[in-house]
Structure 1
Amino acid sequence: MVPGTALDVGADSSLNLKKQDWEKDIEVIRQTVSELVVEQDVVVVMHSFSGMTGGTALEGLDKESCLAKGLKGGVVRLIYIVAFLVPEGFQHSAHGTRDQMVPEMKTDLEKGVITILPEDVKNMFYQDLDDETAAELAKDLRPQSFGAFWSTTTHAAWRVIPTTYILTLKDVPTTVVAAKYLIETAKASGPHKIDNVIEAEAGHSPFISKPEWTAETLIKEGTRTAELS
């Protein structure tokens, strides 16, 4: 599973805004996967924002490329859970701005961070959880760095690696519309390997609200890939 990593989460005013980007995120993902594919096949699962960093970090780690290098494994499937399925050259927001960010994303340009207020957490992330559980989860949330939104993708792994997209229909309506748009435009943009779109009656975080269903779906998709590879 590709989460937010070093720079994305917990940023503070000590960071130099001009130097904020997701380089460390890419490095962590790429190093982790590179170590695994030496001996085994890998399924990479990405949720929400991490579709951008994951899609960028996996260049040259698809099964065919890994076999050509003499490695035993490779990335055999990508699974996007209501995640950014975007092409090369995608930038969420122009550097120095909060463009494309929804009102619930409270921004502090001086500190270089984005936060979600406790009262907005359920609507943003945990739509299908009870209020008490959502409030408890909100305690663990941390600010996110502007650098994550100002960086630009350089690779679209879904063009060369078989891809499953899990679309959560109980998410924020605008997010559902945006996710459908990303899927459609990705398929229309040129070569791609998006071969399965699964619609789920779940909110933005199905691994919390529907953990058994999520685990079963990931295993099924990963196994299907392994059998075909």
Structure 2
Amino acid sequence: MPKPIFVLLHGAWHSPQCWHHLVSELGREGFESVTPSLPSSGSDPPTLDWSQDVQKIRQTISELVRDRDVVVVMHSFSGMTGGTALEGLDKASCAGKGLFGGVVKLVYIAAFIVPEGFQHSPQGTRNNMVPEMKTDLESGIVTVREEDAKNMFYQDIDDGSVAELVRDLRPQSLGSFWSITTFAAWRFIATTYILCTSDRPSTVAAAEYLIETAKASGQHRIEKVIAVDCGHSPFISRPQWLCRTLIEESIGCTQLRQE
């Protein structure tokens, strides 16, 4: 069977550039990847909510599943938009529409794995935001200062590299934190969660809570949690390891389909 294609969804404040090392590693192993740019990060003026992100994700994947199997990889914030955007794009639903492909695997990397009806922050507030998330209610954006970026995103990356990485950070739409999830793809599609244990302790604890809450909420297909000793962004600090892991997970779902 043809190899699945990876769709890599970046988190808040980032751009597709953050996936550069992982894309190269996957390419060396003969795997294609697509890295859509999500409008809630960096749009000027900022988006009012995350609906454009959801539309972009659905458009990208809908075109691919016509004839390709897809593995969707979500980092951090995009766990919410990715999980919402995939309704009707799983393999079985696509087959029912006469399509040859479908989404066969989800991989959450230190990402929000949340149920339907989840809202990060109540409308008009900055509730549940850490102090490093600087909000501007008038401009409608949330920013992270250069001096806070290492502690937020790049804990296990050398300072010189962090200085380069922060140049690509951009304002995040405040309205995207007020949006509400309407679907939970992990209930219907085989899911692996990558838990980054050298992330901020509060982020690790939150991720563990979200995983257990999701499992306890009813139907789910969270089949594996992989704990790895790295910071929030393993696609930068450990791209070779992440590449191997993603390939192993994609091969696993291919074997299951063949059986």
- The TM-score bracket by the shorter chain reads over 0.9
Q: 1:174-193, CA deviations, whole angstroms, 9 ceiling, x for partnerless residues?
A: 00000000000000000000
Secondary structure, aligned partner of 1:78:
strand
Please, which of 24, 36, 40 is the counterpart of residue 8 of structure 1?
40
Letter in 2 for 1:124: M
Letter in 2 for 1:9: S
Asked if the contact 1:53–1:153 (Cα under 8 Å) also holds between the matched residues in 2, the reply is yes
Equivalent-residue separation in structure 2 for 1:9 and 1:64 (angstroms): 32
Give the Å deviation of 1:11. Answer: 3.8
Equivalent-residue separation in structure 1 for 2:231 and 2:171 (angstroms): 21
Are 1:57 and 2:85 counterparts? yes
Query: What stretches of structure 1 of length at least 5 have no aligned partner?
Result: none
Could you tell me the percent identity over the aligned residues? Answer: 64
TM-score (normalizing by structure 2): 0.85
Letter in 2 for 1:212: Q
Asked if the contact 1:22–1:151 (Cα under 8 Å) also holds between the matched residues in 2, the reply is yes
Secondary structure, aligned partner of 1:139:
helix
Equivalent-residue separation in structure 2 for 1:31 and 1:105 (angstroms): 30
Please, which of 198, 202, 214 is the counterpart of residue 174 of structure 1?
202
Query: What stretches of structure 2 of length at least 5 have no aligned partner?
Result: 1-7, 12-36
Q: How does 1:134-173 map to 2 (within 5 A)?
A: 134-173=162-201
Which portions of structure 1, spanning 4 or more consecutive aligned residues, are displaced by more than 2 angstroms?
Answer: 3-7
Q: 1:184-213, CA deviations, whole angstroms, 9 ceiling, x for partnerless residues?
A: 000000000000100000000000000100
Aligned match of 2:25: none
Asked if the contact 1:37–1:72 (Cα under 8 Å) also holds between the matched residues in 2, the reply is yes
Asked if the contact 1:91–1:152 (Cα under 8 Å) also holds between the matched residues in 2, the reply is yes
Aligned match of 1:70: 98
Equivalent-residue separation in structure 2 for 1:6 and 1:228 (angstroms): 31
Are 1:208 and 2:236 counterparts? yes
Asked if the contact 1:202–1:209 (Cα under 8 Å) also holds between the matched residues in 2, the reply is yes
Give the Å deviation of 1:160. Answer: 0.2
Q: 1:51-81, CA deviations, whole angstroms, 9 ceiling, x for partnerless residues?
A: 0000000000111111111111110000000
TM-score (normalizing by structure 1): 0.96
Aligned match of 1:106: 134
Q: How does 1:187-198 map to 2 (within 5 A)?
A: 187-198=215-226
Equivalent-residue separation in structure 2 for 1:6 and 1:42 (angstroms): 18
Equivalent-residue separation in structure 2 for 1:87 and 1:20 (angstroms): 22
Asked if the contact 2:10–2:38 (Cα under 8 Å) also holds between the matched residues in 1, the reply is no
Equivalent-residue separation in structure 2 for 1:36 and 1:205 (angstroms): 26
Give the Å deviation of 1:223. Answer: 1.1
